[in-house]
Amino acid sequence: MNIKELEKFLTEKNEPSFRFKQICQAIFKDGIISFSEISTVSKNLRSQLNKKFKILPFKGSKVLISKEKNAIKALLKLEDDSLIETVLLSPQEGHWSACISSQVGCPLGCLFCATGKGGFKRDLTADEITSQVLFWRQYLKTNKLTGQFSNIVYMGMGEPFLNWDNVKESLNILIDEKFFDFGRRNIVVSTVGIVEVMEKFAQDFPQVNLALSLHFANDTKRELYMPINKKYGLNDLKNFLQNYFKTNTRKVFIEYILLKDINDSQEDVLKLANFLKSIGKMQLIHVNLIRYNSIGGELNASSKETAQKFKEALKTERVHCTIRKNMGNDIQGACGQLAGKNK
């Protein structure tokens, strides 16, 4: 919902200033589905709001639930008929996180990602980004799902830092106590490494978590599977992180997808460890190992045994790391599988 238009409308109607706060409380925190549910405002105003505003900028939605019920994926149709996907995850019982998209498609073309295979259509507006969170807040309430909804990850469709103006606005809305009031430290923004925007992010949101999709510690391999490496190579990422750690003590998450016989050897372990050590501040670096989630084609996931050996070898090199639990594979809702297609 367009917050600025709502505030302008209420001002023109000479409504008291607290009215805006009441409505925002009902929408962003209580998860109401219709203005008709807001009992603290008059019936006449509720009727006017229903006619003038849409709480969600979506024309329709389809939801899939994983067998383990710890991942729920929604396909959302926007006003221009574009399709995006977002996922609600429960990594542990009683806790929910939303994985949200920032673009319709993605222009980067990483070979292991379904979103990039579909090409790029357009950026999402700040409203379309934050409304994914609102959609899940409503979903939890409507379906009477218990637990705390407190974490947001910008790891869905698109590269957030190629849509910085809208992503920045959406972050401000998510952390604003008048609206969603999420804690800064409960939000993660993931990027392949758009260096000049990472610098802006570090300055504007020093308490919001940064995740860097590295995946390879070799420029030749990274460039082959991630074309963006031609512009932002490993040395560029290293320089950024060294500067970042001069003023920021927030831990940075390094994302590393394990691909069978491509980047999962013991030699790859040493290259990754040496690259990270060259940055310094190892206590502020944590590697998330992710077994590749299939999107079809010739790529395959490293075995569980190989992933475990990779993890143990990294720990021997004194690199903090974990193997991320894959959730939502059966509904094509795991990392790298969001395609935004109506199947």
Q: Residues 144-164: pLDDT tens digits? A: 999 999 999 999 999 999 999
335 is a catalytic site residue: yes
Instruction: Give the percent of the chain with pLDDT over 90.
Output: 89
Angle at which helices 266-279 and 304-316 cross, to 10°: 40
Predicted confidence band of residue 343 (pLDDT cuts 50, 70, 90): low
Q: What is the pLDDT of residues 264-287, one digit of tens each?
A: 999 999 999 999 999 999 999 999
Q: Regarding beta strands 95-99 and 148-154, do their DSSP bridges make them parallel or antiparallel, or are they unpaired?
A: parallel
Task: Taking each helix axis as running N to C, give the angle between helix 234-247 and helix 195-204, from 0 to 180 degrees, rounded to the nearest 10.
Answer: 10
Which neighbouring-strand residues pair with 214? none
Token duo for residue 268: 């790859």
Choice among 24, 85, 128, 321 that is catalytic: 85
Q: Which residues contact 296 (CB under 8 A, 6 or more apart)?
A: none
Between CA 99 and CA 86 the distance in angstroms is 6
- Chain segment 60-113, per-residue pLDDT in tens: 899 999 999 999 999 999 999 999 999 999 988 889 999 999 999 999 999 999
Q: How far is CA 128 from CA 166, 178, 243, 343, in A?
A: 9, 18, 33, 22
316: CB partners within 8 A, 6+ apart: none
266-279 helix and 234-247 helix, angle to the nearest 10 degrees? 40
- Active-site choice (24, 99, 106, 335): 335
Which residues contact residue 118 at a Cβ distance below 8 angstroms, ignoring those fewer than 6 apart? 105, 106, 339, 340, 341
Rounded CA separation 94/96 (Å):
7
pLDDT at 297: 87
Does 24 participate in catalysis according to the annotation? no
| CA atoms lying within 13 Å on the CB side of residue 84 | 31
Provide the pLDDT confidence category of residue 326 given band limits of 50, 70 and 90.
Answer: confident
Domains of the chain: 3-52 (1.10.150), 58-331 (3.20.20.70)
| Nearest Cα to Cα of residue 280 among 246, 229, 324, 234 | 246
**pTM (2 decimals)?**
0.95
Place of tokens 């075995």: 303
Note the pLDDT tens digit of each residue in 116-148: 888 999 999 999 999 999 999 999 999 999 999
SS3 for 217-281, per residue? CCHHHHHHHCHHHHCCCHHHHHHHHHHHHHHCCCCEEEEEEEECCCCCCHHHHHHHHHHHHHHCC
**340 — pLDDT class (breaks 50, 70, 90):** confident
